[in-house]
Amino acid sequence: MKKLIRSFGYAFKGFGYAAATQLNFRIHVVAMLTACLLGYALHISAGEWMWVMLCVALVISAELINTAIEVLTDLVSPEYNAKAGHVKDAGAAAVLIIAIFALGVGLIIFLPKIIALIHAA
Ligand SMILES: Nc1ncnc2c1ncn2[C@@H]1O[C@H](COP(=O)(O)OP(=O)(O)OP(=O)(O)O)[C@@H](O)[C@H]1O
C-alpha cells in the first residue's frame, strides 16, 4: 500500500515537472480545463463527455511522454546530434497529431452548440 502511494507521488512529481518546465504542457492543460468547463456549461451528453475525456487523457499523456523524450534526449545527447533532433521532432509530431484530433472533436461537439446559443440570443 505504501509503495502504491509512493508511486502516485512520483506520478504527481512528473506532472509537476512538466507543468513547471514546459510551456506547451501548461497551454494544453488550460485548453483541456476550458473544454471541461465548456462541457459543463453547455450540458453535453454522456457520450460527448466520453470523447472529451478521451481527448484530455490523450493530449496530457502525449505531452508527458514528449517531456520524458525531451529530457532523456538532452541527457543522452546534450551536444547537437541529428538523430537526437529526429527523436525530439517525432515526439513533437505525435503531440501535434493528437492535438489536431482533440481540436476536431472539440469543434464537432462544441461548435454547433455555440452557434445555436448565438442564434438564440
Ligand atoms: N541535441 C540536439 N541535437 C539536434 N537537434 C536538436 C537537439 N535538441 C533539440 N534539437 C532540435 O531543436 C528542436 C527543439 O528542441 P527543444 O529541446 O528546444 O524542444 P522544444 O520543443 O522547444 O521544447 P522546450 O522549449 O519545452 O524544451 C527539436 O525538435 C530538434 O529539432
The ipTM assigned to this model is: 0.89
Q: Alpha carbon of 84 to those of 21, 33, 45, 74, 81: distances in Å? A: 19, 32, 44, 8, 5
Q: Are the C-beta atoms of residues 19 and 26 closer than 8 Å to each other?
A: yes
Q: Residue 50 is part of which domain span?
A: 2-120
C-alpha grid cell, residue 84: 537526437
Whose C-alpha lies nearest to ligand 1, atom 8? Answer: 85
Residue 118: its pLDDT value, please?
Answer: 96
* Distance from Cα 88 to the centre of ligand 1, integer Å: 6
Burial class from Cβ neighbours inside 10 Å (0-12, 13-18, 19+) for residue 83 reads: exposed
Residue 34: its pLDDT value, please?
Answer: 98
Active site residue 63: yes
The atom of ligand 1 lying closest to the CA of 81 is: 3
The atom of ligand 1 lying closest to the CA of 23 is: 26
Residue 120: its pLDDT value, please?
Answer: 94
pLDDT digits (tens, 9 = 90+) for 14-63: 999 999 999 999 999 999 999 999 999 999 999 999 999 999 999 999 99
pTM of the model: 0.92
Please count the structural domains in the chain: 1
Distance spanning both ends of the chain, measured CA to CA:
54
Whether pLDDT at 68 is above 90: yes
Residue 15: its pLDDT value, please?
Answer: 98
CATH of the domain at 71: 1.10.287.3610
CA distance 24 to 82: 23
CA dihedral 36, 41, 45, 48 (to 10 degrees): -30
